[in-house]
């Protein structure tokens, strides 16, 4: 076995590990974002069901809303990192699935300022 064979095997194993971890992180962020949204939706319903005034739980609603925004930002950074990792994989001659393999149409995000994501994409 030559040094090149060992290097390729190590590169492939490392890329496979990164691919698995990236997929797991994206899935966990999506789950955290969805759970946060469900929690935020439940707070006013719980307040109304308990017949509490509007002020009850307001601080928790605001702080948890900030957590939801932070998870959304983390997800955006992860998507940008995903694109960088894909480019590195192509540069080293290793192309693997770093997530969903289904073809995606060209997509231009709208709404929030995502200009920093377009640079990396």
- What is the domain partition of the chain in residue ranges? 3-120
Minimal CA–CA distance to 83: which of 119, 30, 29, 33? Answer: 119
- Residue 5's pLDDT is what? 54
Cα–Cα distance, 113 to 109 (Å, whole number): 9
Backbone torsions φ then ψ of 108, nearest 5 degrees: -110, 110
Cα–Cα distance, 98 to 54 (Å, whole number): 45
Per-residue pLDDT of the chain (121 residues; tens, 9 = 90+): 454 555 667 888 888 888 899 999 999 999 999 999 999 999 999 999 999 999 999 999 999 999 999 999 999 999 999 999 988 888 887 766 555 555 555 655 555 555 555 444 3
DSSP the chain: --HHHHHHHHHHHHHHHHHHHHHHHHHHHHHHHHHHHHHHHHHHHHHHHTT--TTTTHHHHHHHHHHHHHHHHHHHHHHHHHHHHHHHHHHTT-----S--S--------SS--HHHHHH-
Instruction: Judge if pTM exceeds 0.75.
Output: no
Only one residue has tokens 């955006």, namely 76
């Amino acid at each position: 076995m030559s040094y090149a064979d060992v290097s390729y095997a190590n590169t492939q194993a490392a890329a496979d590990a990164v691919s698995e971890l990236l997929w797991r992180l994206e899935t966990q962020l999506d789950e955290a974002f969805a759970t946060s949204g469900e929690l935020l939706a439940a707070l006013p319903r719980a307040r109304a069901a308990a017949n509490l005034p509007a002020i009850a739980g307001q601080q928790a609603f605001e702080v948890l809303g900030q957590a939801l925004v932070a998870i959304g930002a983390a997800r955006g950074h992860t998507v940008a990192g995903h694109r960088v990792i894909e480019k590195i994989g192509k540069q080293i001659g290793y192309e693997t699935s770093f997530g969903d393999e289904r073809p995606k149409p060209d997509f231009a995000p709208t709404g929030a300022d995502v200009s920093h994501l377009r640079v990396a994409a």
